[in-house]
């Protein structure tokens, strides 16, 4: 659990550091505060959601679908000519084996933290924008 706490601390620390750098690179106004929170929140949400899509297995399914689509039927016919009738019948009626794992890689816990902190920063900026 301490690894998760340290990871949580570092992810939040980097977000706060980016926010402070943004605040001091511009004039210190309420609008700069809102913009800084929104920018850091959107960047964190974007990075977190890209990692979520990547680790979710979308690209595994996408790549396997392209392989299956571009596999020529002519090659299958040539393969069938070289096999006996029993092998052709078995291959046509056998249940297809999965070629890929649709779940993809395991989602790291820090990816959820990045999405959470991005959402928190962005929601705070939305709430503060109503008071501006």
**Number of separate domains in the chain:** 1
Q: Which of 24, 18, 13, 30 is nearest to 131 (CA)?
A: 30
Cα 40 from Cα 117, distance rounded (Å): 9
pLDDT tens readout for residues 73-87: 555 655 555 555 555
CB atoms within 10 A of CB 110: 16
The residue count for the chain: 132
Range of the domain at 56: 2-130
pLDDT tens readout for residues 14-64: 888 888 888 888 888 899 999 999 999 999 999 999 988 888 777 777 776
CB atoms within 10 A of CB 23: 16
Cα 92 from Cα 73, distance rounded (Å): 13
Instruction: Supply the pTM of this predicted model.
Output: 0.65
pLDDT tens readout for residues 64-121: 667 666 665 555 655 555 555 555 555 555 455 444 445 556 778 888 889 999 999 9
């Amino acid at each position: 659990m301490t690894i998760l706490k340290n990871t949580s601390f570092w992810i939040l620390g980097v977000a706060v550091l980016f926010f402070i750098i943004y605040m001091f690179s511009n004039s210190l106004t309420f609008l700069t505060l809102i913009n800084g929170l929104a920018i850091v929140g959107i960047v964190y949400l974007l990075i977190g959601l890209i990692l979520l899509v990547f680790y979710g297995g979308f690209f595994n399914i996408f790549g396997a679908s392209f392989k299956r689509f571009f596999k020529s039927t002519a090659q299958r016919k040539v393969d069938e000519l070289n096999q006996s009738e029993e092998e052709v019948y078995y291959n046509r009626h056998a249940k297809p084996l999965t070629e890929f794992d649709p779940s993809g890689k395991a989602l790291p816990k820090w990816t959820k933290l990045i999405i959470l902190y991005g959402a928190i920063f962005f929601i705070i900026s939305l709430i503060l924008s109503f008071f501006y």
